[in-house]
Amino acid sequence: MQDLRFHRPASARDALDALRAAPEGRFLAGGQSLIPMLKLELAAPSDLVSIAHLAELQGVRTEKGAVVIGAATPHAAVAESEAVRRALPALAALAGGIGDAQVRNRGTLGGSIAHADPAADYPAALVALAARVTTDRRELAADEFFRGLYETALEPGELIREVRFALPERAGWAKFPQPASKFAIAGVFVARVGKGVRLAVTGVSSKPLRVRAFEDALARDFRPAALEKLEFPSAGLTDNRDASAEYRAHLVGVMARRAVAAALGA
């Protein structure tokens, strides 16, 4: 690991200033993705600007029809938040199933979506819930935020401040985890709002995928049985030592039915 300068700014504004002065630097939140990358020499920033301790980037608040979560809120805090458990229990369940206790205590929502691991859990929830990502300079829709493998719409030095989740009528989450890391081999988040349904899959491709055929079937009949005759195509899906593309395609169907069952409280 190469030498680097560490900054502990007093505010988000100071963090942005510090990174502006160090264009090869990176924000450091929970370090659960960035520190392993440094150790493996997959990243070599000149500076690390810590944001994990900044209270202004942390916490959960409820607004009319929405839950808003600060970017530096650890996964464990989301999982344990009474407000999230009441308003959006599927999101609390998702956060509670990320990694292990250490990852959940350190890793943050903002770090997870900025890193955009193709097997991460939160991206599926953001896309299915049509969440809005607020940064220091703009607001981005989840559909435009995730661009590809570890790639987002964030510009260099752009800081995620919070994510706004509009509340659906029903939502459900189901994941088939890699047994060691708990990253998704296939994970499905489904949300129903009025007559519309959005369903997003993580773990099977370079970025979260919406499955329109499943959404249309569920808009007509929001029950697991509505998906029974539908197949998810395996062409182009991730194919590696954890699971073949065909197995992942099969899992998408199974996880989608489980997510719908979870949304119905079954």
Ligand X SMILES: Cc1cc2nc3c(=O)[nH]c(=O)nc-3n(C[C@H](O)[C@H](O)[C@H](O)COP(=O)(O)OP(=O)(O)OC[C@H]3O[C@@H](n4cnc5c(N)ncnc54)[C@H](O)[C@@H]3O)c2cc1C
The residues pairing with 133 across neighbouring beta strands, listed in sequence order, are 140, 163
Tokens of 42: 């997959």
* 71 lies in the site for ligand X, by CB under 6 A: yes
* Cα–Cα distance measured from residue 147 to residue 168, given in angstroms and rounded to the nearest whole number: 24
Phi, psi of 190 (to 5 degrees): -125, 140
Q: Which of 18, 22, 88, 110 binds ligand X (CB under 6 A)?
A: 110
Annotate 194-214 with b (16+ C-beta within 10 A) or e (fewer).
eeebbbbbbbbbebbbebeeb
Q: Tokens 């079937």, residue?
A: 217
Stretch that binds ligand X, among 1-9, 100-108, 166-174, 244-252 (CB under 6 A): 100-108
* 117 lies in the site for ligand X, by CB under 6 A: yes
Stretch that binds ligand X, among 29-37, 59-67, 192-200, 248-256 (CB under 6 A): 29-37
Is the CB of residue 202 less than 8 Å from the CB of residue 123?
A: yes
Stretch that binds ligand X, among 25-33, 138-146, 166-174, 221-229 (CB under 6 A): 25-33
Between residues 106 and 192, which has the closer beta carbon with respect to ligand X?
106
Q: Which of 103, 163, 252, 256 binds ligand X (CB under 6 A)?
A: 103
Q: What Rg, from alpha-carbon coordinates, does the chain have?
A: 18
Is the CB of residue 168 less than 8 Å from the CB of residue 90?
A: no
CB 224 to ligand X: min, Å: 24
Q: Which of 9, 107, 168, 224 binds ligand X (CB under 6 A)?
A: 107
Residues forming contacts to ligand X in the complex (CB under 6 A) are: 26-34, 51, 71, 98-99, 103, 106-108, 110-112, 114-115, 117, 120-122, 159-160, 181-183
